[in-house]
Each structure stands twice: as structure tokens, then as C-alpha cells.
Structure 1
């Protein structure tokens, strides 16, 4: 590994005791290696070796002597990868600090020769951003991210129980978690991560944060940091925060609404660019959803054609028969134009979700695709009903292979296939209640 920085003086503040080298696996799980400040100084210069299979999430291959998958047996590839810290992401984390001060640095995942690894979802987004920049375009992303706060049991394990009955925009004292959200806002602000606003969600236990726009890769870094902070601060209050899209039958689904603002250095008309971008997202909608809505549970939130499912945010008829809720162009009172992408959910890997949205939108701009604003219900894009349907089509998904690469899609697909097969084999409480007495 080559040196990461030319600094000769210490990089970290003297009052920092511990440093987390943070990276994200391909399924969006935040991973880290923790070390003392002195060891972290060495890692800043030399990198830090990790096992390749730390990036595989659900994959068991390569651990405890198991054989590697066929697509990873290329002899030119080492099992060992290296974390290369990105110095610009250094940040002290108030929610992790107590008696000791804890900082983090987000890392690029590299091969032994220092080149970026194809397993690094953050690098994939960086390359897509560079492609946009070559087209003379800059993109800012803002988010409305929803999640639930639930109680934990006596052993500290999460439940789906909430003691509150608050609803949309309710305040304390009926909103029992107002103080928890306040702690989240102030802790993020202390670390330099502004929050635009926050309020109670539509149903009991649900909460919503609006995060201000950030450019390119910084937006995904911020979203990943936000999710980690929310979980840590919730735990401090004896609660569990979950970004699961549909954690129970009675409550509203949790979405990740992504706002995309386009800046053209070549003077292109903003509204036309936004409409082309939105048309590109709609054209590739089904092909990108395995990355923007990546779990079995994601499709319980979308609930296509399931009229009996309580889904007040986006009723099944809205999702299924019209695209304006899923993707639309809007102009605010200040004349700011943005594309609102509302079908993703917060279980997604932020780097993959933004890559998919950006790549699809760029295709729309490159090809000057046009939104058919007068299209009837029969012409609206159809949402897949399950993750399994998308997995069956992944090998033929040209968009995914073009944007993410064949090896990445293979590794991602095999992990998701394992997840789907475990779900299909699992006997649910519903099945027991429905069939145990009748059969």
C-alpha cells in the first residue's frame, strides 16, 4: 500500500483516544476497526489489512476455512484487502465518546497494490459522480429519512413495542420521544452534521428527519453517519432504532425520500434536465430496485396490488397505478427545481442507492428521455411484488451489470439469494396461526 498522506506531523488531535476506521459492506452494514490514536497514525500512512470477506455481508465463504466462491478464485486477486483512510472524513463522534474521545475516518477499500477494490460500494459511487462531472453536471442530494423507535426487552434485545400513541407532527408530552430526537439533533450538530428538521411520523413510534443537501459522495457519507448516530443515541436512551421498511402490520412504512438537485456548468435549462433525469429513473426503476429496496421486507412496504395492507403513506393504488408519487419533478416557492425519488427505503446501502439513482438519471439526460405526463394507468411502471422476482432477473439485468460490474452483481446476488432462500424456508407465525388447526 502506498502512503495515504504526506503529513509528517500527527494527523489526529491529541485529545482523541480511540479511532474507528469505518467502511461499509456491500449490503450497507457499517463496519469498523477500532484502534488507539498511535496505531491509527500508522494506518493513515500505510493502510490497514482486512479479510476480503468482511465486504461480503451475508457471505460465509472464506471464513473458518470454507472454500471461496468460483468468481473469487482468480489467482491474481489476494484474499487480503486494505483500508485506505480518507483524511477528509475525519470526525470526532460525540455519540461514541464518553470518558474517552472517539473519532472516525471513512476508508476506501483497496487491493494490495493500492488500486480501488471492486467490492467497495463507496468507490462505485465516486466513479459515477466523476462520470457526471465529465458531463458538466454536479448533483446535490437531500433526504427525508424515516425510522422507528422501539423498546428493548429485559435482555436488551429489540422488540416492536412502543408505549406512545402519538401521530403525525404531534408534540410532547404525547410524543414520548421528543427528547430523544432533540439529543440526536444536538449530537449531530456538535459533530458538524446539520439537521434541517425533525418531527414525529404518521404512526406511533415512527420518526422523520429531514437532512440538508450535500454534494456527491458527501451525501452518502452523511446518510451512513446519520443512521449510525441514530442507533447509538437511541441505545443510550434504552431504545432500539430500526430502519426496517415495514416493522409491523399496523404502522406506516418507513421510506427514504431522496431529493436530487442538478447544477449544469454548461448552462442547460434546469427544468428540462430534471425531467430527463426523472424519466431515466422511471425507465430503469425495476432494474434498480434490488439496490434501492434490497430486503425481503422492502416489498411489504410497497405492497403492490395488496389492498388489504394498511399503507397510508403510499396506498397500493398510488404505487401501482401512477408514477407521480414514486418519482416526480417539483419546484419550490423559491424556484428551486429538484427530482423527488420516493420509492427507496432506508434499509438500502446509501452508496448503492445513490449510484443507482444517479446512473439512471444520467442515462435519462444523455438520451434526452422524456416524461410522459399524460400516460394512463396502464402505462405506469409496475413495482415487483417480491425480492425473489428481482433475483430471478438479476443475471439479465443489463443496467445493474453496466453500473456495478459483473463481479459485484454476482457477489451481491448470491448474498441476497441466500437471504431469500432462508426467508422462503422459514415457517412464520402467520402460517402457524392460519394452518395449524385447519390442516
Structure 2
């Protein structure tokens, strides 16, 4: 159909950035949700050229799901949006399939037309059970409730910034085609910080960064990473729920930009043996209502506070318990290889990058704790909920020299599943029902893959990976 007949909204990147930063500021200032809802509904009503609202939510494993609602329909029905939960892996059984989506109007994004389509805006949804309560399998809702509880009870704002690495590979659907080709093809072999201005990797990074800026990410730096065709695009911290939302958007943007270039952005932790894998280093801190960073202490060890060190000790205590939540796939355990700067040691260090937890150099504003063992394919809501709840309410083990003890994370998913299932702490984190469902999903993937990883990435690691999953591939077992 000729585009002359269409008149859908297309805003410049500068206009988009301004609108998204305004929305971000409202979220940071905790503006009353009803006030934000009224503003968004009025904007949608008054703004011509909006054809659809894309609602985003994530399943138990962290796959992002999207559905478009016609604007006119949504404005009439936003308080009663239903969907079939039995079609979402890890959600309800078929006999109890009806779930609802409530719109989190504060998590509203004005979207670039050349990436998401003209006349569209995005908003994150919260999954609601039949009885009207938050659905326990929606870990975004679980994280949001925990953050709210910590703010109301202790005055804490839970902050996070994630460094998400990925690979850019030649060709469309490189992951889905891996069982046929048996390999991934690099687009660039330059390595760390090295890329010519016009080569495909640099162009991909530039385009992705532009989209992120337009969506209010407040970028900091971007560059090629150590491995060939590997990238990292950094942006500023946010409160835990907003940070997790941005992880989902980051991966969505990268995949879409790569797709438009005829390539594939992959967030497999170790798609190629023999080069560095991809991580999602998770930097966290906590501020009080006055904005003071509670992890900072200029006189403390490594200039972080006793509160921060207790937080670290609890993460180390439960390192094996929570490993499956931070490293959620068969392929993730290839990355935990000490030969490639991998953080497989359950210890804390200011300098050793093989440690699960690192204490970066910081100041009053930037003092933080960095959990380095996280894979980029993990459910971001599960990651931040696990890290913060464990660090704040977990236990401290009576292990001699806990912070430097010779302890290691699992080197395969089978051990990680056993540790996860046997741990009392993971039951406290997720509840028995959600814990059992999550373990079952992980076991199903593991059972389709060799128990021993070996030295070659197997087709099944990719084919049955939760981010690559579709019914057609899963049925070929």
C-alpha cells in the first residue's frame, strides 16, 4: 500500500529523547501512578497519528513478549486486557489460562519509528492473576513489590547499572540456523576498542546507541569488546525495575538494528569456544531518601561501608544456591571458564576479575558492588530481585575467610540445578511453586543437551536455548 495514504506519528530522535527523559524523571521522582496514568491517557487521546500501543511483558525465563493493542481499543479497555497464560512457558496450566495485563504507565516509552514502526509507543505490563493479585510467575511484579517494600519500610532505593555484552554475527537468524550451519560468522575481528569507523560492527554500535539515547537511556560509552565481533553499550544506572526494563529494551533494540542490517545480535553467553564469552556485569548500590549512597564509606575497607560488605557476604554465602538464576542456560556454563577472565570463584576482590563479586574504584556517588558472574541471557528481573533480596535479607555463612575462600561456581547446569533445588534460600526467594516451575524448565533444556560440555558448542545448546526457543525447533528433539 502506498505510504502517501498514511499519516502516522514519526518524531525526531531529539524530540523522542526529550519526551523519554521527562517520563524517566517522573519515574525517578515517584510521581503518583494515577497522575501519570491520567497524563498518558490524555496524551494518547489527544495525539493524532498513534495507531497502536505495544505492551511488553516477560515470562519466567526472561523472554520478552510483545502484543499490539489498537489505540482506540486500548483507551476503552486498558483496565481489562486479558491473554492466554497457558501459551507462555512457565506460566499457567491450560485449565487455568486466563491472565490479565495491567499497564505500568510510568514505564512508558516513545519509540523511534524507523525501529519500532510509525505511530507506535511502548509500555510495560504487569501480569495479574484471576483473583486480581500480582501473578507470582511474573518476576517483574515480584521485583517491583520488593522494591516498594524496601522503600516504604527502610527508605531504600535499589539502584542498578548493567554492562551487557553481546556478539554481532553475519546473516539473519544465525542462532536458529546454527543447527544447520554449525558455526557463527564474525562481522569484525578487531577486538577490544578496535573498529574502523565505517565497518559493520561500528555502524551497528552507532545505530543501536542512537536508538537508546532517543529512548532516554542516557548513554555513557560504547565500544567493541575483547572477542571478535563483540560489543558493549553502556548507559546510566536506574532504580532496579527501570534497570531491568532497560535490559529488555537494550537486547530488543540490538536485535532489531542487527536484523535491519541483515545480521544477528546474539546474547548467548559463550557462542564461540576459544574467545571471551559475554557477561552482564551487574553493578548495584542502595541510596536512602536523602539520596545518600549507603554503600560509600571513605574510611571503610576498599572505601565501601559495612552495609555493603555485609551485602557482599550474603551474596557469597548463597553463591551456589542462586547460580542457576544468574546463569540460566546450558551455554552459560561454558562462559564460567577461568581461562577467559571468567568470574567463577565465589569470592570478592577489588582487583581479581575472576571473582564472582568485584569492588570497583568509586566515590561518594559511584560506590557500588559488581556481581560479575551474571550471564546476558538471564531473566533481568530474576537477577536484580535475587541480588538485592539475597544481599539484604540472606544469611551469612560461618565459612573461614568467606571473602577469599577457595570455592567455585558450578561448571555445568546439572550441578547448578541440583544446588538450586536443594537450597532452602531459593524456596524463600521464589516460593515452592515458582521454584519448581523454573527448575523444570531448566531441566527440560539440560536433558536435551550433552551432560559434558566438551570443546565444541553443540547445536542443542543453541536450539534449546530459552532465548532462541520456538515450537518448531523445540519439537525437533
> Which bracket does the TM-score occupy, shorter chain normalised?
0.7 to 0.9
Partners of 2:279 and 2:379 in 1: CA distance? 13
1:244 aligned residue? 268
2:324 aligned residue? 290
Partners of 2:457 and 2:239 in 1: CA distance? 46
State whether structure 2 residue 234 is matched by structure 1 residue 210.
yes
Question: Which of 410, 419, 432 pairs up with 1:406?
Answer: 432
Partners of 2:143 and 2:249 in 1: CA distance? 16
Deviation at 1:427, TM superposition (A): 11
Judge conservation of contact 1:281–1:361 (CA < 8 Å) in 2: yes
Aligned with 2:195: secondary structure? Answer: coil
Q: Deviations over 1:306-364 (max 9, x none)?
A: xxxxx4332xxx63485423103233256631101110011001000101100111026
1:319 aligned residue? 344
- Point out where structure 1 has 5 or more consecutive residues left out of the alignment: 63-67, 69-77, 305-310, 433-439
1:147 aligned residue? 166
Partners of 1:373 and 1:154 in 2: CA distance? 47
TM-score, normalization by structure 2 = 0.76
Quick one: structure 1 residues 332 and 369, their matched pair in 2 at CA, closer, same or farther if it must change by over 3 Å?
Answer: farther
Partners of 2:131 and 2:108 in 1: CA distance? 24
Partners of 2:154 and 2:116 in 1: CA distance? 46
TM-score, normalization by structure 1 = 0.82
Q: Write the mapping of 1:1-150 to structure 2, written as runs, cut at 5 A.
A: 9=42, 11=44, 13-44=47-78, 46-56=79-89, 62=94, 78-94=96-112, 97=115, 100-133=118-151, 134-150=153-169
Deviation at 1:128, TM superposition (A): 2.0
Partners of 2:100 and 2:329 in 1: CA distance? 28
Aligned with 2:44: secondary structure? Answer: coil
Quick one: structure 1 residues 334 and 33, their matched pair in 2 at CA, closer, same or farther if it must change by over 3 Å?
Answer: same
Partners of 1:207 and 1:164 in 2: CA distance? 10
1:168 aligned residue? 192
Q: Deviations over 1:90-143 (max 9, x none)?
A: 212216657632211110000234211111110111122133222332221011
Partners of 1:167 and 1:10 in 2: CA distance? 45
Quick one: structure 1 residues 6 and 421, their matched pair in 2 at CA, closer, same or farther if it must change by over 3 Å?
Answer: same
- Point out where structure 2 has 5 or more consecutive residues left out of the alignment: 1-33, 297-304, 350-354, 459-477
Judge conservation of contact 1:322–1:381 (CA < 8 Å) in 2: yes
Aligned with 2:409: secondary structure? Answer: coil
- How many residues are matched? 401
Deviation at 1:426, TM superposition (A): 11
RMSD: 3.2
State whether structure 2 residue 210 is matched by structure 1 residue 186.
yes
